[in-house]
Chain A
Amino acid sequence: MLRKLNIRWVPVLFLLPSVICYVMFKYYPLMNMAYISFFDYSIVNPPGKFIGFANYTEFLKSTTFWQAISNTFIFFGLYLVLTFWIPIVQALFLYDIRRGNAFFRFMYQLPTIMPLVGGVLVWKWMYNPDFGLLNYWLDFVGLGPYLWLNDATMTKLAIVLPAVFAGNGIALLLYYSALKSIPTEILEAAKMDGAGPWRRMWTMLLPNIKFIIVIQFVAFMSSVLLAYDHIYIMTQGGPAGSTTVVSMLVVNSAFQQSRFGISGAVSVFMFIVIALLTIIQNKISAEKD
């Protein structure tokens, strides 16, 4: 009897502070945002005129929005194919490095702390078709010259490329921590069974960090689908809308055009899309377990 009570209360107490914070600083503002998405929001006399779903129908009908959606998902695909696996591979190999381990790990983290504005500016210089470093180097191996940010078919790649170079130092740390927490006994046991080092990597190490890969994937998905800052600084969404992503529409409609209703509506839409994707992804990975 007593024990039952205990089990009921402890989780509540442990969760309560977080729940309060989330309600206050996420759900309450979120509700407000969802609320204004049904208004032709007036910033002088909020909330303005109630217009039902008109904001939603307006953006769903606009071609700019659908171009942004398609750009956003192309970015998602590019980041997934080109960058998501990098920290996993880095961590798996780093696990096998004894000498200089701390040094390499430290080096991997450097790009993470490179300030955004300076970092993007450096890449813009490297891409410059007149005097950039990249074309200069590619010329040695007989490639190029490329127009990079001046070529609508290349801009998306040019936005993702810095992330390929930089990797993801934080994700690397997470994978590495997860690898480190795999009990050595089970690795030793596998070794006794005659599993070579390469096979151990595939059959023991990788499966044991699967949980963190799943978590990282969720974080990755929302961060890529909502990416804004570095794309904006690099291209402002251009040229010819080739790098305009959905979160850019959210910002532009709010702060360029002061149409906070539309901005809220697009945000709600994105929230629902990403939440659905996450649920599906969660279900799939749960079933596989």
Chain B
Amino acid sequence: MERTRIREKGGRSLKITAYVVTISFVIFALIPILWMFASSLKTEKDINSYPPKWLPTIPQSIQVTIDYTGMDETDPAFYEKDAMRAMWYPWMKNIRESIGDVTITGVKDGRKLYTAETVSSMFFVGQPKVVPTTIFNDKMMDKKLPIIQENKLSKFEWEGDSGKSIAVTPSIAESDLSSRFSAFYQSNELIKGQVVAISEQSNWVRVFSSYMALNKIAEDTAGALGFAQYFLNSAIITVASVLVQMVLGGLAGYTLAHLIESKKWKFFWIMFFLATIMIPDISLLLPMYLLMKDLGLVNSLLAVILPHTAWGIIIFLFKGFFDQVSKELLQAARVDGATELRTFLQIVTPLSIPIFTTVGVMTFIPVWNEFLWPLVVNSSPKYWTFTVALNDLQNQPSVLQNMLMASAFVSMIPLLLIFLFSQKYIEKGVAFSGVKG
């Protein structure tokens, strides 16, 4: 079969053209998406760099060794604060640089005292609270340490007297970042120990820190409800809307296509449904809100679902496809004594699975992405949808542009899954038997 097609005159040229056209369209479509993904991995500095670059600067891991030899203090908290200062303060001063993580090793009398680590995702999540500005003072860490501990922003492992012995060679790496850190430690007396060594190396794993940070922020801000709740709300709203549209729209579309004989009435009903797509949604915002208030539905999932029961284009689409089903086929079923509902369910519906799937996908996306109406009608976070919550998240002060891009990218995943799931039903196309007529 395939072979005969290709051998046919013009078959090859059509095939080649088809692939060339399709591949070029796909490439065009992918450019902005790839740019979005690339941006989600970049630092703010990378995003505005010229010439534009696709690959992010590889983040640097910085290791600092601090020597406490000669210090009498035995309280681990004292050292923990010192380690936090040594990580958070110079990092804040260099917030625009591409830093992947900072590790501090505290040593005393040739033994390891503690190790501490902060990774970039945690730094960016905690920065507005821990180091809101570049102004630091001695006492500040007393207030900040509980925040760091509570949110698990930095790791701190105390080894105390049992620490292994460790050899330290004093050395400061020559690179730009290391010397910036070194300069910070020298410029003030905030760090109690003696900074003896700074080294650094590239750590490409940290390019994904915007995603990690986003995950952490989402966990923190969703509070008791959690993103699971918003996700569930969105799922309920979307599935209910899609189902109602398929049932009501399918029935009405079938009626318009096959059950109304009079041309005049047909036109009237088509326009009755279709006219509703010609109103700017935004101008219905107030009347709709008042209606929901009268129905007592403000702050409920139904307030979001119900308006989706009236989408003019859906009925019009169903009608268009059902028009293609041959009248003879239906007539045959009727003669066999099937009711209209049975004819619809047993003859038309199975033939139309691709249409139902396409319409389902087509309604799923806008319902899922709807923002203004759910926000206005449901002010209580209990009823927020995923999209509303995501928008709220994107407005957090700690969300940088790369995290915004990451969040945009992540938010595509549920819809991607829907597409993947729907593919085989779209493919299932059983041709309507008989030509239009």
Contact = CB atoms under 8 A, between A and B. Distances in A.
Interface of A: 6-7, 10-11, 14-15, 17-19, 21-22, 24-30, 32-33, 86, 89-90, 93-94, 96-98, 102, 104-119, 121-123, 125-126, 130-133, 136, 162, 164-167, 170, 173-174, 176-178, 180-184, 186, 191, 196-199, 201, 211-212, 214-215, 218-219, 222, 226, 228, 247, 250-251, 254, 260, 263-264, 266-267, 270-271, 274-275, 278-279, 282
Contact of A173 (B282, B284, B362): B362
The SS class assigned to the B binding surface is helix
A180 B429 contact: yes
A167 B22 contact: no
A166 B32 contact: yes
A21 B10 CA distance: 51
A286 to B, nearest CB: 9
Interface in B19-69: 19, 21-23, 25-26, 28-33, 35-36, 39, 47-52
B9 A181 contact: no
B166 interface: no
Interface stretch (B116-124, B202-210, B420-428): B420-428
Contact of A115 (B252, B310, B408): B408
B423 A106 contact: yes
Interface stretch (B95-103, B181-189, B211-219, B318-326): B318-326
A146 to B, nearest CB: 15
Contacts of A112: 365
Contacts, number: 299
A109 B28 contact: no
Contact of B26 (A108, A132, A186): A108
10 contacts: A24-B310, A107-B30, A115-B369, A118-B405, A121-B404, A181-B354, A191-B8, A211-B436, A267-B280, A278-B274
Given A162-B32, A270-B279, 11 more contacts: A11-B259, A14-B255, A17-B252, A173-B361, A211-B324, A228-B280, A247-B280, A247-B282, A250-B282, A266-B283, A282-B267
A178 to B, nearest CB: 7
Contacts of B409: 118
A179 B405 CA distance: 36
B307 interface: yes
A17 B278 contact: no
A255 to B, nearest CB: 8
B280 A270 contact: yes
A135 to B, nearest CB: 9
Nearest to B21: A93
Given A125-B47, A196-B8, A251-B282, A117 B272 contact: no
Task: Identify whether the interface residues of A are mostly helix, strand, loop, or mixed.
Answer: helix
Contacts of A162: 32
A28 B284 CA distance: 10
Contacts of A110: 29-30, 33, 412, 416
B291 A177 contact: no
A122 B11 contact: no
Contact of A118 (B13, B36, B288, B291): B36
B25 A90 contact: yes
B25 to A, nearest CB: 6
B274 A113 contact: no
A143 to B, nearest CB: 16
B271 interface: yes
A266 B282 CA distance: 12
Nearest to A41: B286
A183 to B, nearest CB: 4
A132 B433 CA distance: 53
B354 A114 contact: no
